[in-house]
Amino acid sequence: MTRHLITSAIPYINGIKHLGNLVGSQLPADLFARYQRARGNEVMFICATDEHGTPAELAAAKAGQPVEVFCAEMHAVQADIARGFGLSFDHFGRSSSPQNHALTQHFAGKLAENGLIAEVSERQVYSNADGRFLPDRYIEGTCPNCGYDKARGDQCENCTKQLDPTDLIDPRSAISGSTDLEVRETRHLYLRQSALKDQLAAWIDSKTDWPILTTSIARKWLNDGEGLQDRGITRDLDWGVPVRKGDQPWPGMEGKVFYVWFDAPIEYIAATKELTDASGQPDAAWRRWWRTDEGAGDVTYTQFMGKDNVPFHTLSFPATIIGSGEPWKLVDYIKSFNYLNYDGGQFSTSQGRGVFMDQALSILPADYWRWWLLSHAPESSDSEFTWENFQASVNKDLADVLGNFVSRITKFCRAKFGETIPEGGAYGPEETALIEALATRIRTYETHMDAIEVRKAAAELRAIWVLGNEYLQSAAPWSTFKTDPVKAAMQVRLGLNLIRLYAVLSAPFIPFAADAMLAAMRTDDRSWPDDVTAALSALPAGHGFDVPEVLFAKITDEARADWQDRFKGVRS
């Protein structure tokens, strides 16, 4: 048994996420967590809501609520939607938790002790109309590099160049649109990332198995222009982790909070610390996942995220961990994803474009979405959601291949043998060939899942489903029954055992359908098929079963057209 620490990039609290967010981190992380548990490994799967910073303040103001109340309510909403999608977090935490406040202040204190924090007097943009300093993401203007007129104060989304707000041409407030801006003096703390550049570069260079997408982004930030830059870790805001050195005040930093991108990754650790034991008390076992001097040395730590989060997880967060000088666990593997686009455009939380997670669940069960998103995961390049492709994939893969197999074999058995698995008959050449083909494909499926090659794993799983259909079509027990009912009994028994096998293999992708298949076979035997021959006799003759409801209903042209029209506009 191995131990796997798995974290998904934590979603902002400022609203319900769209399907692009889901497939970019949480869903593939859940796939991997479910697979590792199925293989008998110990898993700690952590996520949380990212609750600090201006986005939370603005969303709360728009909702007419105190920010603390808004965050608590939205955390409950996001947790409920996550359950609806079957995301199997061991804990879904909150970056506003007392544990994260304390850990963030602890890391800041250690970094300061080690000479890795600099106090910098700087000039920042203040909006007279808004009555506040504007965080860099809330200043828009024209990029001096490429001329894009909606560049943000931290980075141009068009050319990806890193910027300072004062670099922008014709800057304006992204909150109010006001151009009544002025530059004022303020002091902030900077993490001296540049002092750790060589250590970070050596660490990244050692990760020869990481996706090219991950390492190329990391090296770009390390080496572009003047190289890795020191980064501000405090802001002039009301809502966030107060700036302190551990449990001590930080003179001159009164009224400031830590930058959300400093405290948010620390929440991975804090969320684990938020876990409680059976009696509801804090569970000190969290340290065995995070402290290499207390048992985390044998943990494999995998992070999942969209490509926009890569710089912070390959540079800033590791700089925090390394710079602390303490034995905290560093990530072993970062699985990053490109973007999922929506029907000829882009998903956008700010513009409300695309299908959002709550809307998706309101029209179809979670497994329909899980299957399409994972089988079309944007791994090597951006991918695009279209309603036509979604309909075709659901109908062909889920309804015609898997659903049809389960329906045909259970209904035939009930009609000819009753609702118990029939006995009699021995395997012939056709069954032997099927077992060999299954064994080969299952080992390939495992290889792809171990390597987190999501689309390849989905394709292999579908091929495994196809083997059952091809066998059923070739063996034709409905014809065999007329002349050799004993042989037909064997064929049916094999087919019913295939349902259990398919449920076990498919559970990481489509857990709700897998549960339904196991329930229909009246078993909770989820043992992994290390031996395919043994797996295909797990349900013996005489074992009862039920004919399940339709696993996957086909999507009609009328429904597809209706949804395509309903979701083409901006979410209200």
Question: In this structure, are residues 373 and 19 in contact, taking their beta carbons and an 8 Å threshold?
Answer: yes
From residue 494, how far is each of 63, 424, 425, 428, 434 by CA, in Å?
A: 57, 11, 11, 12, 10
349 known ligand binder:
yes
- Name the phi and psi angles at 472, rounded to 5: -60, -40
Q: What is the mean pLDDT of residues 490-518?
A: 98
Contacts of 190 (CB under 8 A, 6+ apart): 117, 118, 119, 120, 230, 231, 232, 233
Orientation of helix 260-273 relative to helix 98-113, angle to 10°: 120
Which residues neighbour 362 within 8 Å (Cβ) at sequence distance 6 or greater? none
pLDDT of residue 138: 84
pLDDT in tens, 302-316: 999 999 999 999 999
Looking at residue 431, what is its pLDDT?
97
- The identity of residue 123, as a single letter, is R
Residue identified by tokens 């141009």 is: 156
Cα distances from 362 to residues 81, 105, 313, 377, 564, in angstroms, run: 11, 41, 34, 22, 15
d(CA 164, CA 181): 15
CA–CA distance, 266 with 259 (Å, rounded to integer): 12
Please check whether residue 5 is in contact with residue 302, taking contact to mean a CB–CB distance below 8 angstroms: yes
Task: Return the pLDDT at 474.
Answer: 96
At residue 63's C-alpha, the angle toward residues 58 and 68, to 5°, is 70
Domains of the chain, start order: 3-110+261-364 (3.40.50.620), 115-196+208-232 (2.170.220.10), 385-535 (1.10.730.10)
pLDDT band at 266 (very low <50, low <70, confident <90, very high): very high
Q: How many helices (H) and strands (E) does the chain have?
A: 22, 19
Q: pLDDT by residue (tens digit) across 458-499?
A: 999 999 999 999 999 999 999 999 999 999 999 999 999 999
CA-CA-CA-CA dihedral for 204, 206, 212, 215, to nearest 10: 10
Please compute the mean of the pLDDT values over residues 61-87 and round it to a whole number. Answer: 96
User: Whose CA is closest to 471, among 454, 455, 450, 492?
Assistant: 492
Lowest mean pLDDT segment, chosen from 21-25, 158-162, 209-213: 158-162
List the one residue out of 343, 473, 464, 471 whose CA is nearest residue 18.
Answer: 343
Q: Can you tell me the distance from the alpha carbon of 141 to that of 150, in angstroms, rounded to the nearest whole number?
A: 6
Q: Give the pLDDT confidence of 234-262 residue by residue, as tens digits.
A: 998 889 999 999 999 999 999 999 999 99
pLDDT band at 137 (very low <50, low <70, confident <90, very high): confident
Q: What is the pLDDT of residues 142-189, one digit of tens each?
A: 999 999 998 988 888 788 787 888 889 999 998 889 999 998 899 999
Question: Could you report the per-residue pLDDT of 386-399, keeping only the tens digit for each?
Answer: 999 999 999 999 99
SS (H, E, C) 124-188: EEEECCCCEECCHHHEEEECCCCCCCCEECCECCCCCCECCHHHCEEEEECCCCCCCEEEEEEEE
Q: Is the pLDDT of residue 572 over 50?
A: no
pLDDT over 70 (residue 569): no
For residue range 321-358, list pLDDT tens digits in order: 999 999 999 999 999 999 999 988 887 766 667 899 99
Three-state DSSP at 5 gives strand
Average pLDDT, the chain: 94
> Binning pLDDT at 50, 70 and 90, where does residue 557 land?
very high
* Structural contact between residues 155 and 198, judged by C-beta atoms closer than 8 angstroms: no
- The sign of the CA dihedral 75, 80, 85, 87 is positive
- The amino acid at 158: N
Mean pLDDT on 528-532: 97
Q: Which residues face 227 on adjacent strands?
A: none
Per-residue pLDDT at 352: 66
CA 89 to CA 25: how far, in whole Å?
13
**Residues facing residue 353 across a β-bridge:** 348, 570
Cβ contact 108:233 at 8 Å: yes
At residue 225, the pLDDT reads: 62
- pLDDT (0 to 100) of residue 571: 45
Mean pLDDT across 282-288? 89
Please check the confidence at residue 523 and state whether its pLDDT lies above 90. Answer: yes
Is pLDDT of 570 > 70?
no
Place of tokens 């506003």: 96
pLDDT of residue 227: 73
